[in-house]
Structure 1
């Protein structure tokens, strides 16, 4: 073929492509949820692409581990490479330029004073107080919570990793190795709840476990003795010995007949007895002079009780629970029987709630999220009705990305969901921490994914362990900023 004809052919192709670009839909042609056809537009050809991901360099450089009046013998936290992180004392002046502040309805930071009063006196009273961190999959595996726990226990005392389901829901936990027999059944108030239960006694974790199926007729003449077991071992990844615990409590209920248990500490049988018959909430507890390296329970019975939780705590100080609810939008608390829930909160001596939800609403795009604001407000008010003097801090949704052509952008509805959460928080008299803005705002998640080393996973939704630690540190700094301001006001 002659060069002229080749040139003519190429020019014809370019003209055809240009004409196609003039009429091709700007948003592409949607095939299905995973596939759409895109075509370059004339503007993209003629104008330079000025799109940039958010610059988070200053956020990361300012996010430093704060040495906030910790005992001098407590090692400073280091990262996986053993690089010691910079430290400063956490006082109001040093934090001011680094902290993305917690927001309050009407600017009233005294909302947090009840928990601050508890923290200030906890060492002198010898009391065990509890902070419960509820959230969606962003906190699974003790991500975020573990760092908040480490810092609070380091400053105010305490150890142990707090409440756990008897059977791991997700099979991964930074702070604990959790094994169990295969005959356990799990029931949750969130996700695909079992509508045949006939009750809503899920407890403070919103779930319970059994080793025999639930039945309206729990006692059958043909039943045989069933055995089930759980084994808990330290992961070795909890900072500065904070996994050590000196008391263990099992929360159970709906137990129609005495249930034999055996408890093994470091493979030695140390206790065998029966769990009491009850149709309400019961607690069995043990105390240890030395924290067990491994704890195993075996259960034997014809009918299983409902096991709500196991608590691994110190005798005093601060306990911080990690309570992930995969797939939940935070609309679960009113689905749990309220009298039992209140009793469990009271027994656990809960002094603060942290609620971190919203991410599971993002994929469902609508023009208005007033429905979610209303529903979430209802959940907050339900918690406050149960525990009227306990402050609640809502951590808002993080940035989340969807792919547009060859780049990742913030979901177009995300800020509307953020605003709905904030408005709900203020309407219910709760504090709000804007994680979306704290991490850099619009189009910041790709910057966390592409950071070196990465701070988020390739789904452009979830932080990895390193990133979860960074964002948890930012929240902790914001909380301690308010605490330091509270102390200053006392003078």
Structure 2
């Protein structure tokens, strides 16, 4: 098609569109179109098509907008200052002291300065990961001496900042403050309110352990200093493996930096014991290998220095502190 014919076609179409706009009517500039029986075809008017319409002021809309944008006067705010002059300061207590305050303070200082003092810091989930406890421990150890992070559970349920604990084997954790778990029959959870086992809870008598053949289970615990904690917390050379309720002998092998330094057997008399590991300096890695048919209840690990303050972080998520009355007192 020639250019002339194309131009003629375009102008013809535009002319027809402009002609149709003659039949379009406007409703005060709100809408325009061609009225047909039963419906309306929206179409611009001739003046709208040629952009000849002038905007009309909508006084009603302008009045509404002006009312919204108007700045309302604010009332001056006058703070109410409480009258502290009527408070009896003699009745204010920042710390709840026992009856003989001076005697208590002197005894507390004596314990802190005794050269070996262990503090148990109980709390809820706010203490998890050694929060709060790590700061308090570092400050107290800086004043009274001491090193090491103290207590750590074997089976970890959240990240610990105090030390790196990794386990091998089928370790299970039983906590008295966890309502989703089966409770121990003797309710002996120790002072740390939870135990770890490398075999499930078995209802087995001592006679049955001597006659029934049981499979041998192995498990491991690897301990490393934390790279995220205070420098004092990274220094320890006294490691305690706390356990109880041992029904059968369990073999133990201790490796420090890959070298076997100790072999022994856990005492199977059902009572509480602490298997101690002492090194000359802070080890880069300690691995404890365990093997037995029935796991004892392991109350946890303690990583301590030679002397000074030891502060244990005992976080009990969801606990209100009422669990102690339910626990076996012999565990304390």
CA-CA distance at 1:340 after TM superposition: 2.0
Residue 237 of structure 1: CA displacement?
Answer: 2.8
What is the number of residues matched between the two proteins? Answer: 257
Partner SS, residue 303 of structure 1: coil
Instruction: Give the match's secondary structure for 1:296.
Output: strand
Partner of 2:15: none
SS in 1 for 2:155: coil
Match of 2:132 in 1: 144
**Do the aligned partners of 1:187 and 1:193 also contact (CA within 8 Å) in 2?**
no
Residue 169 of structure 1 deviates from its aligned partner by 3.0
1:176 and 2:163 are equivalent in the alignment: yes
What residue is the counterpart of 1:332 in the other structure?
Answer: 323
Per-residue CA deviation, residues 177-214 of structure 1 (Å, 9 max, x unaligned), is: 12112511100111226345312110011000001110
Structure-2 residue corresponding to 1:287: 278
1:427-446 mapped onto 2 (5 Å cutoff): none
Q: Which residue is 1:248 aligned to?
A: 239
Which region of structure 1 is more displaced relative to structure 2, 282-291 or 194-203? 194-203
Aligned-residue offset at 1:268? 1.8
Q: Could you tell me whether the CA contact under 8 Å between 2:253 and 2:263 is conserved in 1?
A: yes
The one-character-per-residue Cα deviations of 1:139-196 (angstroms, maximum 9, x if unpaired) are: 11111111211121122121111111122232x1122112112511100111226345
Task: After TM superposition, list the pairs within 5 Å mapping 1:70-89 onto structure 2.
Answer: none
For 1:23-38, list aligned pairs within 5 A: none
Shift of the 196–206 alpha-carbon distance from structure 1 to 2, 3 Å rule, reads closer
Asked if structure 2 preserves the Cα contact closer than 8 Å seen for 1:159 and 1:318, the reply is: yes
Correspondent of 2:202 among 215, 220, 226 = 215
| Equivalent residues of 1:187, 1:208 under 8 A apart | yes
Instruction: Give the one of 101, 115, 119 matched to 1:131.
Output: 119
1:30-49 superposed matches below 5 A: none
Structure 1 stretch 299-308 or stretch 151-160: which is displaced more? 151-160
Deviating more after overlay: 173-182 vs 142-151: 173-182
Q: Is the 8 A contact 1:259 1:275 kept in 2?
A: yes
* Residues 242 and 274 in structure 2, CA contact (< 8 A), matched pair in contact too: yes
| 1:80-479 alignment, distance < 5 Å | 102-104=95-97, 108=101, 110-120=103-113, 122=114, 127-170=115-158, 172-181=159-168, 183-192=170-179, 194-217=181-204, 219=209, 221-341=212-332
Q: Secondary structure at the match of 1:169?
A: coil
What SS class does the counterpart of residue 121 from structure 2 fall into? Answer: strand
Asked if 2 retains the 8 angstrom alpha-carbon contact of 1:261 and 1:274, the reply is: yes
| Structure 2: runs of 5 or more not aligned | 1-29, 31-55, 80-92
TM-score (norm 1): 0.48
Flag structure 1 segments of 5+ consecutive residues without an equivalent.
15-44, 53-99, 342-491
CA-CA distance at 1:221 after TM superposition: 3.0
**1:9/1:300 CA distance change after superposition, 3 Å:** same
Q: Which has the higher helix share?
A: 1
Q: TM-score, normalised by structure 2?
A: 0.69
Structure label with greater radius of gyration: 2
Q: Secondary structure at the match of 2:271?
A: strand
User: How far does residue 321 in structure 1 lie from its aligned partner after superposition?
Assistant: 0.8
3-state SS of 2:112 partner = helix
User: Do the aligned residues in 2 keep the contact of 1:128 with 1:314 (CA within 8 Å)?
Assistant: no
> For the residues of structure 1 that align with 2:319 and 2:74, how far apart are their CA atoms?
43
Distance in 2 between the 1:112 and 1:252 partners? 34
Displacement of 1:128 after TM fit? 2.0
